[in-house]
Each structure stands twice: as C-alpha cells, then as structure tokens.
Amino acid sequence: MKRNWLYIVLILLISAAVFACGKSETPTEEGSKEKGEKAVAATDYEVDEIRLAGGDWGYPSPFAHYPRGPGGFKMALIFDSLLERDEKGLIPWLAESWQIEDNGHTYRFTLREGVKWQDGTPLTAEDVAFSIDYANRHAAVWSYIFNAVSSIEIASTNEIRISLKSANATMLDYLGRTRIIPKHIWENVERPKEFTAPEAVIGCGPYRLTDYSKEHGTYRFEAFDNYWGPRPRVRVVMFIPVSEAVLAYEKKEIDMTAVTPDLLPRFQKDPANKILRNPAFWGYRLLMNFEKVPWLRDVRIRQALAYAINRQELVDKIARGAAVPGRMGILPPDHVMAAEDVRSYPFDPQQAKSLLDAAGMNRMNPEGFRLTADNTPFAMEILCSAQEVRMAELMRQQLKMVGIKLDIRATDAKTRDTKVRGLDYQVAILGHGGWGGDPDYLTHHLAADVFDQNASPSSSGLAGLDAPELMALLKHQSLEIDPQKRQQLITDIQKRVAELVPEIPLFYTAGYTVFRPAKYDGWMYMYDHHNVSHGKLSYLRRTGPAAPRVR
C-alpha cells in the first residue's frame, strides 16, 4: 500500500514540476450513457438494496452536512468532483485530464462532455467555474480552496483555467475534491449552509437522495439512471438506525458492521462472512490549549505528558488491540511519508517525573498532586465525548502516577466539537479520520489560531503555540512541488513536532469490518481512508465498458 501511494504522490508532484498532465480515456458511449440519454435497466444492478447503520450527519448538500466523514461521504454519492480517489491515488472524474502550469500557480482542467444534472439540465464549464468560485467565496465543507483562487477563466466549452493567489503543493487534491454544483440552482443562494430545499441536493453523481429523516438518522439513496459514468452496482443504498450494529448485522438488518477483535471469532467460524482489517487512518489525539493552561507552554511539561500517558495500554484496553500507538511525529506508521527516525516517548513515569521536577513542579500537596507556582495543584480539565469517558478515566489514572490531577468533562460529540473549534477547553480528546491524507493536514492541526466554525474538527488547530521555526517549515512544504525536497521537509517537520509535542496522538485505530460477500462484494478502500463504505467507487462498476480508464 505504501509503495502504491508513494508512486501516485511522486507522479503527481513531478507532473506539477514539469507541467505534465494526467488523463483518462473517455468512456465508451455505452459506458458513459453519452449525453445522459441512456437509462440503466433494472437488470443492470447486481444488488437491489444495501442497508448500512445510520445516524444523522446532516442534510447531504456540500454546505449543510455535518463536517465529519460520514456526512461528507453521503453527500459525495450525490455530488461529483473533478477528481476521484481509488486504491492508488487521484483519478480523473468530471475532469478527464488536467495540466499544471506556471510553477503550480495555474491549473487547466479538460471536462467530460455529455454530463447532465439530476434534473436533466446539461452540466457545462460555467457550472464548474461557478462551483470553484462559489467554494472560493463560501467556506464549503470538504473544500480547502476558500479564498485561494485569484481568477477562473472558461477557456472553451469544455475547459477551465484556475489561477491561484499563491502556489500550493496540495492544490490539485483541494481543487479535485471540491464538489461541483449546478449554477442554475445555487447562483442566488447567499447562505449556503441554510439552503436545505429539495433542489439543494440535485447533483450529477451516481445517486439521488430520495428520503432523509433528521429525527431518525435515516437516508435513502437511489441510483441515478442517467449517470454519465460507471454504472451503479447497487440500486438503493439505505442508512437505517440500529441500537447495536453487531446484533443488527447478525439479524441481517444491515449488511456490514465494524467489529472489535474480541468479537472476531463469532464471525470467523462462519464462511458466509468476510473480514477486512482497516488501515490505521482513523485516530485519537490529545489537544492542549496553551492559552487556557499556561503551564503547557513549557515543552518539558508536554514531553512529560507524552512519557506519562501509556498509549499501549490505551490500545489494549480501549481499542482492544485493534489500533497502533500514537507517534509524536503525528503521521501514522501506515502513512507513505511517515518518518522512521523521530523521537519516541515510551511509557516512563520516572522520566515524566524528572521533566516535571525540571519544570519546577517538584513540590507535592497532601493528596499527592504536584503544586504550581501559586501553590495550587497541577490540575487540568479534559473535555471528551460520552463515548470517550473510559479513555479519559484511564488517562486520569496514568497521570495521577506522576502527580497530575485530571478532571473529566464529558458531553455529546457535537458539543465537544463545537467547544474545540471555539477554544473552550483546556485539554481535549478528539477522534477523527483523515490521518492518511496529504501531510499538509499538519498545518491545519498545528498552525490555525482561529477556527472556522464550519470546518471539520479534524482541521482544528492549536491556540498559543509559539514555534516560528515549525511554522516556517509548514509554510515551505506547502509551496514545494519537487517531491524529494517536499519529502525531506515533511520529515523535518515530524522531527521538530516530536520534540515540541504540541499535541499527543493517542492511537490510530486499525479495526475490522465484516460483511457477507454473497450479498455484495464490491467494497474497496480509498488510498488514504479507513472505511470501505465511504468510497464512492465501492458502489460502482470497476471493470467493463462502464469503468473509467486511467492512463
């Protein structure tokens, strides 16, 4: 997996440096349903309906869904983008080819012809230019191009040229993932997050939203017969509420579920099940608010915390072994750019105590807690969701061993996310995906002092980190399009981060997924993601005349 991912990254970055382009052949008339007029027959579907565990993740428009993975991936069933992701990397989608010019300042996309919106209106270059401009003006969920574009030119009926305010090594991915929306529906919408009319979910993707209940957390997506691209293999994708996913799977109420290692024997004995081990691209990190807790500005205290938190014990007792302990370089070991020679912090309470003593926390009160300069106990409040209380309790026990008092404030996950984005915490446990993506996400973790309330919690940065050298490295890597030079910068960043410990990755989950291949066996992992049900290509044909072909 690492080799494939590295190959794709290097090819894309080298392409940027020499103004090369990525291409795919145009699907055949049969496969693409040219001009959107050839409907899919009912017999073309391999499965009539797939049922998955539900839960409310917001209205699935590009702007109104809840900014976490499940919300975005549901939305992506409806809305296509210029590029898509398969197992190896970025592939052409609405854009059949692209060119990177002017040292990364200009991107030229050649668009597919014959694409139609789900209301029958043809998709044009004007729609694409409008979508990029709209995302540039409005902070769209699942788009990182806000205020990054200087101009957009429609070069021909099927070509657009996008000029950036400054070059960015990650902009191909950022432009490629931006959802394309119909201009005739959105051009007069001034508050996109509040736009939840039925026409707000008219896209050009392979599925249409036919039912949604916020109260029950249910979604029903039905295949769009006139879809331009690979034929849907599944006619209907349903998300339904279940109280216990494993039991619901055993009762055949849903067709897939996540399972913990202790439950694997229940499914390994039955040959009707197939089990997948997920890549470790979903994880938990401990955020530290340096403004709320001034002691945390001392790097020795942060390093002491890294030594005092037994991450392997968290893996064993919380993840039940289905995880990898966190690395202070932040990037997980499965990441293609993970550096191997960064500083490590094995569980060592004595080393933690020595660092705390060196930082002046060398006096204890009668309860055994260390005293700060004003003779108050060295205490912190940890914010977590209700599902993470056990993790917080275990960390409280670990930190007590070195004289640190940890108080737990538990809330629901959405409230926790809001408080994190609003800096209303001292330390916080935050779990999210995206750890396998472009390492520029380190910038979003570490360099953002002001949080966008619409952004994903995984983009939350820190407050009050004084690290000018690190900030300079983060800026430099975002501009470097030479792959070898950028790799070295990413390595240097990981080494610097491991010394500073601005946050503590706790562990990266590598759980298991079980499903019945006799019902459906088309699932795939995207190259940078951990969940097979999230990938759009999991529901589409990958072979035959309807499949996109990449050069």
Q: Do residues 78 and 221 lie in contact, with contact meaning Cβ atoms separated by under 8 Å?
A: yes
**Alpha helices for 26-182 (secondary structure H):** 29-32, 69-78, 125-137, 171-177
Q: What is the dihedral of CA 192, 193, 194, 196, to 10 degrees?
A: 80
Q: What is the band of 366 on the pLDDT scale with cuts at 50, 70, 90?
A: confident
Instruction: Name the helix (H) or strand (E) containing 312.
Output: helix 311-317
Kindly report, residue by residue over 70-100, the tens digit of the pLDDT. 899 999 999 999 999 998 889 999 999 999 9
Q: What is the band of 157 on the pLDDT scale with cuts at 50, 70, 90?
A: very high
Q: What is the band of 41 on the pLDDT scale with cuts at 50, 70, 90?
A: low
Give the whole-angstrom CA distance, residue 177 versus residue 89. Answer: 12
Can you tell me the mean pLDDT for 47-70? Answer: 92
Q: What is the band of 527 on the pLDDT scale with cuts at 50, 70, 90?
A: confident
**Alpha helices for 46-94 (secondary structure H):** 69-78
Q: What is the pLDDT of residue 455?
A: 55
Residue carrying structure tokens 């736009």:
195
**Mean pLDDT computed over every residue of the chain:** 87
Kindly report, residue by residue over 116-153, the tens digit of the pLDDT. 999 999 999 999 999 999 999 997 766 778 899 999 99
Per-residue tokens: 107: 């991107």
Q: What is the dihedral of CA 88, 94, 96, 102, to 10 degrees?
A: -90
**C-alpha to C-alpha distances, 211 to 55, 76, 236, 240, 541, nearest whole angstrom:** 14, 16, 11, 11, 24
- How many other C-beta atoms can be found within 10 angstroms of the C-beta atom of residue 308? 25
- Cβ burial 429-463 (10 Å sphere, 16+ → b, else e): bbbbbbbbbbbbbbbbbbbbeebeebbbbbbbbbb
Among the listed residues 34, 239, 63, 89, the one whose alpha carbon sits nearest the alpha carbon of residue 143 = 63
462, pLDDT greater than 80: no
Give the whole-angstrom CA distance, residue 462 versus residue 430. Answer: 13
Q: Within its chain, how far is the Cα of 341 from the centroid?
A: 26
Q: What is the band of 115 on the pLDDT scale with cuts at 50, 70, 90?
A: very high
430, pLDDT greater than 70: yes
Can you tell me the mean pLDDT for 234-248? Answer: 96
Q: Which of 76-80, 156-160, 415-419 has the lowest mean pLDDT?
A: 415-419
> Cβ neighbours of residue 29 under 8 Å, at least 6 residues apart?
38
Among the listed residues 143, 203, 204, 207, the one whose alpha carbon sits nearest the alpha carbon of residue 175 = 143
497, pLDDT greater than 60: yes
Q: What is the pLDDT of residue 103?
A: 87
422, pLDDT greater than 90: no
Give the whole-angstrom CA distance, residue 546 versus residue 206. Answer: 13
Which DSSP category does 214 fall into? Answer: T
Q: Which of 5-19, 224-238, 282-296 has the lowest mean pLDDT?
A: 5-19
- For 291-447, list the strands marked E by DSSP: 323-325, 379-385, 405-411, 427-433
Q: What is the pLDDT of residue 543?
A: 66
Kindly report, residue by residue over 255-305, the tens digit of the pLDDT. 999 998 889 999 998 999 999 999 899 999 999 999 899 999 999 999 999
317, pLDDT greater than 90: yes
Give the whole-angstrom CA distance, residue 399 versus residue 404. Answer: 5
